[in-house]
Structure 1
Amino acid sequence: MKRCDMGKVISVINWKGGVGKTTITHHIAVGLQKLEYSKELGLEKYPKVLLLDADAQCNLSIACLGDNQFEDLTYKKDTPIPTIKDIFEKYLDDGTFDIENNIILKEKVRSREPNYVFNHIDLVPSHPDLIYTDMFIAQHNTKPKPKIKPNLLQTDVYKFQILDAILKSVRDKYDYILIDCPPNLNYITQNALYASDYYLIPTIADKLSSYGIMAVSNAVNNLNNNFMAASQDYNETKLLGIVLNNIREYRKKPKKSQFNIMQSLQQLFKNDVFSQYLTYGDGIPRASAMAYPVFALENKFANAKRQGDFLREISIEFVKRCR
């Protein structure tokens, strides 16, 4: 199956923490379900989305499931569910993993009270012990190595192809696969980038964060060159865009200090900056405390309504950029 016939895989990355990676990942997936898809997206049905939590902090898993359900599934049950950690370890052990039947949590992402879920969003959860998986991959040197690419068995490039090989079995079942990456460039992040068609950079409008965007862009460009040199089958991972988050407004316009940084980013990255930003407000934190997306509180709080409207616009732009 050609890659163009499959769902788009997008890594959401930034080396800096606290910029809204999980918030953007979660709300784009949910935002696609909140649109009038036939009118605003030109689609015949709601997009099918797979969320993959690749961060050992497990924030996306908790945001989608709630902390109690997440802990119950991963710790408290007699037989805890497999997580992304098990994907990597089992694949390196014997070259197999049935992701569709063994790990994907189908229709578990919470929508609102009392127990509503989104029917078109599935989840691959993370695990706190994923922090050790990077070391496991680095030290892996068993023979024979997993036969991901038979012509590359004499190299270590297979360590970056694990996630790509596993996702191939489900890519045709989803319109979008969104990967919430950790704030570093370890093996997990590089696996995500190898498997991705695009990468998306959330950021806040401050000096340090804007410097970090160029570092991310340069790192991905270097990885693209290395991966293309190692494998003829590799497809370049392209920048989908930069989403500005936590913008403070005065009279519904960004405050001057942030506006100046936004202008600098637009001059530097041109059309790569999303035209819609996400505002600062208590809507998302209130909703996150209950493990709901901000849309669940739109009818109760003005900030939630405003943030929800902006996230719809970001979701529409996300779809257009993927095309």
Structure 2
Amino acid sequence: MAQKVKTVSVINWKGGVGKTTLTYHLAVGLQHLSCDQPEPPTYRKTPPKVLLVDADAQCSLCISCLTAEQFEHMIYRDDTPIGTLKDLIAHFLESEQPPISVRDYILPACVQSGEGHAYAHIDLLPSHPDLIYTDMNIAVYSRPNFRKQLLGSDLYKFQLLDNILNTVKHEYDFIFIDCPPNLNYVTQNALYASDYYLIPTIPDKLSSYGILSIIHKVNDLNKMFRSAAKGYTDTKLVGIVLNHVHEYANKPKGTQAYIIHALKDMFPTEIFENYLTYGDGIPKSSAFGYPVFALARSHSNSEKQSQCVKHITSEFLNKLGKES
């Protein structure tokens, strides 16, 4: 029996905390775990098939995969611009079962592993800057002749992304959704469509404030979706992943160490033991349009951060194993 796809939203109401970095590198980390280190008991040797979904109008995940110049050309300058999540949502708003192939909107193997090489098992459903207006469109749209038992209900407005992904889920092992830094309709769609969610944060006072609010709000949404949709299953928190951690002697230092200790007191089982260190490895590789693994052999900080990504990915898999 085929393993069920696991869909994961990466969320935080705050920007700049590493949502895109985590989403992008988890997909890549899964490829490397399967190839060059003993796999955890919940894992397998064949690289998993991963779909990245950029649900943020800032399009950072698209730019990470394609570079800003290439992505801009694909959506604006090409004679036949690519279709994006914005277009799919518009189609699925207008009809419950649109005659459209979601597969045509997915860009295959677009994460570069190095010059002239790509990860064959990672695909991308791209965003569009105009996705920022999609929340407004969803809010004002009213579908006529909606199913009688849901007449007067807005439930379908939360099911759009789930309906989109359901047409291709069978092709993937993991789907990672990079969410915008808000709780508008697009983020709520992502949570409805997901089995799990991850919260990245930086261990400083402003970045980590509000994590409890996120968890409570997702619990409220789960309750609302459960009462409105037959068969809905709760979106579960996998954990909280720390980013930009400054180290001394391989341990968090200064104020960050204090904040991490406080977070672990508040969330004793939710905080990942492994974290992503501060350094220029990821920015340096990103400048070339690559994940951090691409420069691991030639750049010491890239090597360190590559190991961090592997450890986080392994812990992520182990936490999923416990949840399953």
Moved more, 134-143 or 68-77: 68-77
Structure 1 residue 210: Cα displacement: 2.1
Deviations 1:195-224 (CA, angstroms, capped at 9, x unpaired) = 000000000001122222111111101111
Partner of 1:140: 141
Partner of 1:85: 86
Counterpart of 1:319, as a letter, is L
Task: Show structure 2 runs of 5+ residues with no match.
Answer: none
- Aligned equivalent of 2:208, options 188, 199, 210: 210
Counterpart of 2:188, as a letter, is Q
Counterpart of 1:103, as a letter, is Y
Mapping 1:234-273, distance limit 5 Å: 234-273=232-271
Partner of 1:112: 114
CA distance in 2, matches of 1:129, 1:296: 32
Partner of 1:296: 294
Structure 1 residue 5: Cα displacement: 5.1
Counterpart of 2:230, as a letter, is Q
Instruction: Report the secondary structure of 1:35's partner residue.
Output: helix
Moved more, 201-210 or 22-31: 201-210
CA distance in 2, matches of 1:23, 1:32: 14
Deviations 1:40-63 (CA, angstroms, capped at 9, x unpaired) = 243041111000000000000000
Partner of 1:71: 72
The runs of at least 4 consecutive aligned structure 1 residues that moved more than 6 Å come to none
Instruction: Report the secondary structure of 1:122's partner residue.
Output: strand
Q: TM-score, normalised by structure 1?
A: 0.94
Q: Check conservation: 1:87, 1:97, Cα contact below 8 A.
A: no
- Taking a change above 3 Å as real, the CA distance of residues 99 and 247 of structure 1, as seen in their structure-2 partners, is farther
Percent sequence identity over aligned pairs: 53
CA distance in 2, matches of 1:253, 1:52: 33
Mapping 1:113-132, distance limit 5 Å: 113=115, 115-132=116-133
Structure 1 residue 74: Cα displacement: 1.1
Structure 1 residue 142: Cα displacement: 3.0
Q: Check conservation: 2:34, 2:45, Cα contact below 8 A.
A: no
Structure 1 residue 298: Cα displacement: 0.7
Counterpart of 2:74, as a letter, is L
Mapping 1:2-41, distance limit 5 Å: 6-37=4-35, 39-41=38-40
Instruction: Report the secondary structure of 1:111's partner residue.
Output: strand
Partner of 2:185: 187
Structure 1 residue 6: Cα displacement: 2.7
Moved more, 15-24 or 262-271: 262-271
Deviations 1:129-164 (CA, angstroms, capped at 9, x unpaired) = 00000000000013124x6xx742431111001111
Partner of 2:320: 322
Moved more, 68-77 or 14-23: 68-77
CA distance in 2, matches of 1:154, 1:312: 47
Task: Show structure 1 runs of 5+ residues with no match.
Answer: none
Instruction: Report the secondary structure of 2:308's partner residue.
Output: helix
Structure 1 residue 73: Cα displacement: 1.4
Counterpart of 2:105, as a letter, is I
Counterpart of 1:175, as a letter, is D
Counterpart of 2:135, as a letter, is D
CA distance in 1, matches of 2:102, 2:46: 22
Q: TM-score, normalised by structure 2?
A: 0.94
Instruction: Report the secondary structure of 2:201's partner residue.
Output: strand
Q: Check conservation: 1:87, 1:99, Cα contact below 8 A.
A: no
CA distance in 1, matches of 2:260, 2:164: 38
CA distance in 1, matches of 2:257, 2:89: 42
Structure 1 residue 280: Cα displacement: 0.3
- Taking a change above 3 Å as real, the CA distance of residues 122 and 48 of structure 1, as seen in their structure-2 partners, is same
CA distance in 2, matches of 1:266, 1:28: 22
Q: How many residues align?
A: 317
CA distance in 2, matches of 1:100, 1:130: 17
Partner of 2:103: 101
Q: Check conservation: 1:99, 1:166, Cα contact below 8 A.
A: no
CA distance in 2, matches of 1:154, 1:286: 51
Moved more, 171-180 or 98-107: 98-107
CA RMSD for the aligned pairs?
Answer: 1.7
